[in-house]
Amino acid sequence: MHKLRNGFPDDFLWGGAISASQADGGWNEGGKGKSTQDCRWLDGTWTHEQIEEKHHNNPFSHDELMAALDDDGTEFYPFRRGCDFYHHWKEDLDLFAEMGLKLFRTSICWSRIFPNGDDETPNAEGIAWYRELFTACHERGIKTFVTMLHYDIPVNLVTKYGGWKSRKTIDFFVRYVETIVDELGDLVDFWLPFNEFNAGRFAPWDGVCLVADEEGEKLDQSIFQCLHHEFVANAHAVRIVHEKFPGVPVGGMIARFCTYPATCKPEDSLQALHDDQYANWFYTDVMARGAYPAYMCRYFDQVDVEIEMEPGDEELLAEHTVDFLAFSYYFSQVATADQGWAKTSGNLVMANKNPYLESTEWGWQIDPIGLRVTLNQMYDRYGLPLYIAENGLGTSDVLEEDDSVHDPYRIDYLKRHIETMRDAVIDGVDVRGYMIWGFLDIVACGPLSMSKRYGLIYVDLDNEGKGTGRRYRKDSFYWYKNCIAANGEALDDTLKQ
């Protein structure tokens, strides 16, 4: 018999998250090779509107890739610099510790370990850097939640082998995973093989490193074949961690698109069911239940996709399922059979607009209740422990002359989401950790800009990479510190510094 809970468990993990490509920089230092994310270019002088119009909604193209491969650092590629965590990590970890952070999520950059992806031996300097970083986390009482692949694969694997289209990439990934688990496994508390598994469907360059205009009409077929290879690679990663470090949890993650029917018309409900299956459940079903769900047969038939599997793939997926599920949560959307429904931006996708919700500066609809709905839905379906791997508000901030940053809008956003997460705990959901995304300001993934800031720590760099790079505590820094100390209770009172 379950007992009614009255709030967060004592061991709840209050966390923060970043990714290597968006934060680290040092793209050509320490033996690192060029990654796929090092190839995404931005004109730093573009306005917000220009970024949305010219960049954010355009898939990565063949011409962009060719230009990036030739470029030796003359042009401005924001991910090559990030927020320079590579050089600032000690002071950043000190700030995290000052806040009382309990869990830090970052990713390992594959091309820092295997610069070309197909190298026979790993880059010792890269391994040493991560050992130092994770050791320093533990010394500060912070657990590590480590993503093996957050969108950035060695670009050589794409140009030479076709990236995830080739099964060879599975082999290279397995070598990479065996190496990082052997070399760093004693310092990792949670492993997450892939960031946002469903991203490949919506942002092919990020998720499965496909150049959309090179695929033409075969794009859907190529995406799902790549995703199949990633599912196989994911199962291998689960197997490897379980074999080498039994008891260390390995998870699966998606970008969760919470979807409501736009009206009570049965057609809208059916649309919501399908949107949820195709955009969300497919991915977690494979990773947590260990098999392709039956509903995808009809979908694959409709979009003319045929997955090529090799003998043994299905057994591998069935045998090596994940121990927990994680997801990013930023917005909700509505599902409708009405083709003319108004649209707005959302994470990775254009979303159908919900007239009852307000939006961020970037058009993402703010819906704290959707987080509670999502947590309940995911726990009902899988009964696995849940971690919110990303949540937060991306918006512009102002650094005042006295070095303060007043961000009551971010505090309000976080507070409302944490409150509904607490409600989900009382609903009986086994949610064990919450990681605020872009914990210190990093380069935003979609727009590639610094001006879309998520951090509780302000980093003085602009969209052109100009600035001192200095770190400043925002008001939300003090707020989260108090929230952590109070274990998420009495949030109204935690504003005081």
When binding is defined by CB under 6 A, the residue of 347, 365, 391, 476 that contacts ligand BG6 is: 347
Residue 364 CB, shortest distance to ligand BG6, in Å, is: 8
Q: Which stretch binds ligand BG6 (CB under 6 A): 111-119, 369-377, 445-453, 484-492?
A: 445-453
Separation CA 354–CA 329 (nearest Å) = 16
Active-site residue among 196, 214, 267, 361? Answer: 196
Q: Which is nearer to ligand BG6, 150 or 353 (CB)?
A: 150
Q: Which stretch binds ligand BG6 (CB under 6 A): 70-78, 91-99, 175-183, 443-451?
A: 443-451
Q: Which residue has the tokens 């300097």?
A: 125
Six token digits for residue 111:
């091309």
Piece of 78-86, 182-190, 440-448, 489-497 that binds ligand BG6 (CB under 6 A): 440-448
CA distance 13 to 269: 35
C-alpha dist (Å) from residue 473 to 202, 407, 484: 34, 11, 16
Please report how close the Cβ of residue 338 comes to ligand BG6 at its closest, in angstroms. 27
**Only segment of 244-252, 262-270, 438-446, 487-495 that touches ligand BG6 (CB under 6 A):** 438-446
Indicate whether 255 belongs to the interface with ligand BG6 (CB under 6 A): yes
**Is residue 155 involved in binding ligand BG6 (CB under 6 A)?**
no
Is 390 labeled as catalytic in the residue annotation? yes
Q: Does 207 bind ligand BG6 (CB under 6 A)?
A: no
Over 289-329, what HEC string results? HCCCCCHHHHHHHHCCCCCCCCCCHHHHHHHCCCCEEEEEC
**Strand (E) or helix (H) holding 98:** helix 85-99
Which of 390, 387, 368, 369 lies closest to 378 in space, CA to CA? 387
Q: Is 332 in the site for ligand BG6 (CB under 6 A)?
A: no
252 counts as binding ligand BG6 under rule CB under 6 A: no
C-alpha torsion sign, points 435, 79, 279, 393: positive
Stretch that binds ligand BG6, among 102-110, 165-173, 181-189, 444-452 (CB under 6 A): 444-452
What are the residues whose beta carbons fall under 8 Å from the beta carbon of 474, sequence distance 6 or more?
A: 397, 404, 405, 406, 407, 410, 455, 456, 457, 458
CA 60 from centre of chain:
19
**By three-state DSSP, how is residue 154 classified?**
strand
Q: Does residue 343 sit in helix, strand or coil?
A: strand
Verify binding: residue 346, ligand BG6, rule CB under 6 A. Answer: no
Residue 310: active-site member: no
Residue whose CB is less far from ligand BG6, 181 or 450: 450
Q: Which of 52, 390, 401, 419 is catalytic?
A: 390
Q: In whole angstroms, how close is the CB of 452 to ligand BG6 at the nearest point?
A: 5
State the nearest-atom distance from the C-beta of 22 to ligand BG6, in Å: 6
User: Please, what is the minimum distance in Å from the beta carbon of residue 17 to ligand BG6?
Assistant: 9
Q: How far is the CB of 127 from ligand BG6 (least distance, A)?
A: 24
Pick the closer one to ligand BG6 by CB: 290 or 346: 346
Q: Are 175 and 190 in contact (CB under 8 A)?
A: no
Q: Around Cβ 460, how many Cβ atoms within 10 Å?
A: 16
Residues 187-206 interacting with ligand BG6 (rule: CB under 6 A)? 195-196
Q: Decide if residue 82 touches ligand BG6 (CB under 6 A).
A: no
Number of residues that bind ligand BG6 (CB under 6 A): 15
Q: Considering the rule CB under 6 A, would residue 222 count as an interface residue with ligand BG6?
A: no
User: 272 near 261, Cβ under 8 Å?
Assistant: yes
**Three-class secondary structure of residue 299 per DSSP:** helix
Q: Do 224 and 300 form a contact (C-beta atoms < 8 A)?
A: yes
Question: How far is residue 486's CA from residue 323's CA, in Å, rounded to a whole number?
Answer: 29
Q: With respect to ligand BG6, which residue has the nearer C-beta, 106 or 328?
A: 328
Which residue's entry shows tokens 């790079």? 469
Judge whether 474 and 430 are in contact, CB under 8 Å: no
Assess 328 for contact with ligand BG6 (CB under 6 A). yes
Question: Where along the sequence are the contacts to ligand BG6 (CB under 6 A)?
Answer: 19, 22, 195-196, 255, 328, 347-348, 390, 394, 437, 444-446, 452
